[in-house]
Chain A
């Protein structure tokens, strides 16, 4: 019977493949359960540290290279990657809840939410005892964002402050001088208006919906999201209202930037619009540089710091590592973490030029400045000390963020006045913070 033999073959195949699959399982199991490995030629017991990894294949390459360098120096420690992909929250939470967390976590804005829940190990003791490590090299404003009740729970490796990318050709066409790093908010508005041309579907600027760019505008206008003790919202300040009015002016009144719904509907990212000459300026971090290098933009361009108002604060993309409190090898985990955020690790970050090193290591930052891509790449380095990630400090940030964005959206679509937006935002935030 033909059919019968076919099914039989299927079964054989099934069994064969299943056993193959079991083989795989065993080989990995050997690696991740017990540290007592056979130690291929290495003297001494070897320890495996599981470390979370995420991001593009390029970003991962940087981590691999750092790890290889580390393992060369520390033959007794093996780094094993746990890829958390781009659904980071989902996988991280599942790993933690499921009782299978990596020793070193990749969490960034989730540091405080997890620290509050007792998932992380404070790093202060390590730092105190380890004289080879200097916390002063890190930017205080960022380190503060990883502290809960005076204890430090994370250390940043990559920092990517947002600056303004601008199209020089469009500035030339509009007879505008190129912006300088000390330009003001008024200069920015004037330029954005002149660079907007509805007939050509050209926008002067795009108010980014990425992360908390809006908070950058608030900070520079002297406002802030929370009261210093983090107990209440601080968006009821006159400064916050001024900032909201500014955002409304940019998006609704002057319409030099598309509104959030239009951005979503366009289906084009800011970097795509910029490349397409439909956008004269946009704010973004260093992560645009590899793409702009691989496929050059068809015009002259440069970067400049965010325009100054009360101050010149800015937001950033930050990558940070933390240690899980249940790790069986805290000492080794610290060694790994220290290496990644230390000088060697930071120099590699600079070499890849996808972000700045998150500490003020001169030799690493010099690599970025020397790259001269773009000409004013120094703007990133100069912005770094003024990065303010206040939102990282609140354990309920992700929920607050959704509430804030909803109110902002209403205003920027033109359905709500800045005054009402401020009122609703303040009430919503306090409601969530009081829970």
Chain B
């Protein structure tokens, strides 16, 4: 207890544990089969992706490790399959399992980064709009309306095309991931902004906020210590569900050829490459990345739905 009081001048925060009411969430987690299964699968997928360099038989980015003689090998259990190419190889002799593990890594990183960026944009916009009201509110929320009236994919295409044109040619490969993150974030911040704004308006009029105002606590601190923590619960749920969406959007963009380049394939890029061989009989080149993508998005969504049910007191 002395630790948080010792920060003199700073307004204290309650402990993280209390904030998410851990015990309630944990209890309901241990009583939901689908949540447990989804969490286990997600944990396996994430761990495999994180430790891809240790697990994968091959580094798919390293051209020297690719063997053209091993191109288009079918999965192990099919006739002609070969160890260690468990899920077969693509037309360049790239091991599919390795490509998928590394691709999942890229997809997850881009998904997380874009959710984080859109959270920052959306929550800042929502807090300012709700707290200050007036024309700030009007401008921010009309911007949000405009964003929502354009389909997500279109915004992402617009942003990534524009930024790509602005970037010098030698940076394009490197910047591809950053462009994707920016594009997805700019197309998905509105939901957070609206949620946070609504909650901020509710909290702002509560008397504890007015008590803080009477003490002339600066707006910045009122927002950070009083209002923000009370908006986190709905935002957490939205962010989980949007993480799944972000991975899908990234895959779509990469599939359309405006996402990750073939040299650093994400799951979407792999699907795009594999798609060309679907009818030539090399089904494994496309099927396994598709399965991996679906699995990833489905378990994330199951967890998001479960979290929403747990944290929404109206449904309990």
User: Is B one of A's binding partners?
Assistant: no
Interface residues of A (CB under 8 A from B): none
Interface residues of B (CB under 8 A from A): none
